Amino acid sequence: MEILNSAREFLLGFVMVVMAIILILALIRAIIGPRFTDRIVAINMIGTEVIIIICVLAYLIGEQYLVDVALVYAMISFLAVVVMVNLYLTVYREKTLKSKEEAEILSHEHGIEVGREEYERRQKASMKAEGKEGTQ
């Protein structure tokens, strides 16, 4: 029984230490990442690792009510990603599209709404590709 208890504690402690190291590495990724979507992906990963750490700690201490905290944390991190993405998309569309009719026309042809310069750049790129294939 002694061996079993100490082995269990050692295993769970080891899991927690490695999870903490992974969490710091993911935080460094959130600081470095060149685009802002890199940062959103890293924050998502941090949320998952925090859930794991809380659940292992709840089993190690013996207090069963700490698992509720992990459930609430999962819900809030999901909500944070949804709110951030919607906010950024709304601001981006308002800044780059000039009127509502233009937005409808662009979304009809392209399928998703992009800004005017982006749309013209992609048209040029696709026409260049078609021109090359036509001559070959």
Partner 1 sequence: MIGEWIRFIIAAVLLLFGLFVEVRAILGVYRMNYVMNRMQVAAMGDTMGLMCILVGLMILSGFTIMTAKMIMILLFFWLASPVSSHMIAEIEIVTNPKADQEFEVTKP
Tokens of 91: 């601001």
Ordered DSSP codes for 20-48: HHHHHHHHHHHHH-SSHHHHHHHHHHHHH
Binding pattern for the stretch 78-117 against partner 1, x by CB under 8 A and - elsewhere: x--xx--xx-xx--x-----------------xxxxx---
Minimum distance, C-beta of residue 27 to partner 1, in the bound complex (Å)? 11
What span, in angstroms and rounded, lies between the C-alpha atoms of 136 and 111? 29
Contact between 27 and partner 1 (CB under 8 A)? no
Contact between 44 and partner 1 (CB under 8 A)? yes
Our CB check for partner 1 shows the closer of 40 and 102 to be 40
What span, in angstroms and rounded, lies between the C-alpha atoms of 98 and 19? 48
Contact between 19 and partner 1 (CB under 8 A)? yes
